[in-house]
A and B are shown apart, each in its own frame.
Chain A
Amino acid sequence: MKTAALTQPILIVTALVTLALFALFSGLDPVLLAVSIIIAAQPLLLAALGEMVVEKSGVLNLGVEGMMIIGAICGFAAAVETGSPALGFLAGATGGAALALIFGLLTQYLLSNQVATGLALTLFGLGLAALIGQSYAGIKPPPFPKLDLPGLSDIPVIGPLFFSHDAMVYIALALVIGVWLFLGRSRPGLILRAVGENHDAAHSLGYNVILIRLAAIAFGGALAGLGGAYLSLVRVPQWNEGMTAGAGWIALAIVVFGAWRPWRVMLGAYLFGGVTILQLNLQAANLTPLWLLAFGFFLFAIWRTLTSRRPLELLGLWLATVLTAAIAAKYPISIQSQYLSMTPYLVTIIVLVVMSADRLAANLNAPASLGRVFHKTG
């Protein structure tokens, strides 16, 4: 079973390496590409990490998109008004948490349905953000400085890859480590997981289920808000209505993809960030549908090589890979950019389908009380 556990990481790494190689051949700089992937991954990472904690406490908050965009506009507005990006991030986190607490109040005290409330929260957040943001369109926010360590940041390749990001990249990494330690090692983390696992049992042991869940919801909202603020202050950086463009939904998918484990959530965020950036760059390069088909065959062939023992099937797959690649090289038919823009969302769907197909692996770590209403009786 060892190969089975390694299959997914190997596939992901191969996919990324192949795409990077392709980019290199198309005349793109892999280091710049990696840096932009890291930046693209931060909003997803922050939002997904927060949502993971919320879901670990047994609450399904589908309002990530709404909390992100509220974070984006609150952060943007605060940064523009005060001139301080740091205060902007603080405001983004506060805004996200405030919106999340509305969700918490509705679902935990008024016992409303979590799915419906979460969806409503997204709609509410999008509308409210558009309202607040009316006068902020087209303004440039104050720049968020990048880390500049003399010596370290100047090393070629390694310097730009590891030592010259903005502070939020390191804060996000610290948060991943923090959440990992909190959930796995600390007593409050244990209690949080217990609440998500079986809220009735946690209640009968005397834990305050509602309070613990509210705290988790607020934390998740704050992180989603941070992610949104990162979008509007660093990634874009500008305020546009509806600028999260589904990032919150991708963050929800990343939580499932990451099987509620912090490090896998981080991997997922980088994977999805990678897809977003690569598709932008591949729009510029001459990628044809046949290349994509060849790429698909290639990944499939690798997957079967890792899991299957039938030589004939493997031979067929590899032949198909080589053949399509050869044809693709001979007949360059271009692909419309709209199709490439779809890829992050397509990948989201594919990942969710594949993960749900592998039911055991996904279910074993899923919080058992996820999405269930806790009604305090007796």
Chain B
Amino acid sequence: MLSRSYYWLVLALSIPAFLWLVPTIWMVSLSFQPNDVLARTTSSTFLGLVPIPFTVENYTALFAFGQTPMWFLNSIIVALGMTFGVLAVSTTAGYALARLNFPFKAPIAVLCLIGLMVPEQAVFIPLYTMFSDFGWHNSYHALILPRMAVPIGVFLMLQFFKAIPKDIEEAARLEGVSWIQIFWHIMLPLARPAMMTLAILTFLYAWNDYLWPLVSAQQRDYFTITLGLASIQSNFAQSEGLGRVMASGVIASLPVVILFLIFQRYVVQAMTAGGSKG
């Protein structure tokens, strides 16, 4: 069924696809080579793309000393906190805007739509002064709260809830079930796929966020892994050795790459939705 030209096409595309992967392979490969070798040359075997001579010392050193494990933990806390926060405010607000009638519904929806236009970079200075006034910098909630205010999640959930047929709800209303119960017992279970998409979108964003943590977390104890990696890469050659910095990079990428490989369909959906809407 598949023609010969198809196999040629696959073969021809494998070359750019492999080239696309080379920088990542290189990072992984360097992270498994001894630092004293790397100080001499980075192209030991096949331009350094194969980790020979091989060592896991960079990883053991990373977990023995240094702050990488703590930064990793911080990232987990912040990313999970942000994910649950966004899910909580987005599902509730999305449901209300999609299914309920109430005064001032249209203006509120428009107000949320306008918020999609405000880029993070346009508000990070006033946010910084606000959080300074509250004395909130260098804390987990300072890293989590600003992102919960972004309306993209509300719109994702709104679109999902709108597509659910009305009759389920109406039958429940006739039985005397309250709106809150309908939301909690009927709508939320139905919304699981959409919530999954939103959760992954938020987790990826939180894990990779750079500008706001850079501004808000000044103490190294509150660095996320993304921020910590930035702080050690400016002087990587001298201080800790190239192999160890690369190992930090691999560790920093591991959760999002695993997430991507397991939930590929959701990640693609999430990024398509996030990309085309805001």
Are A and B co-members of a single complex? no
**Interface residues of B, Cβ cutoff 8 Å to A:** none
Interface residues of A (CB under 8 A from B): none
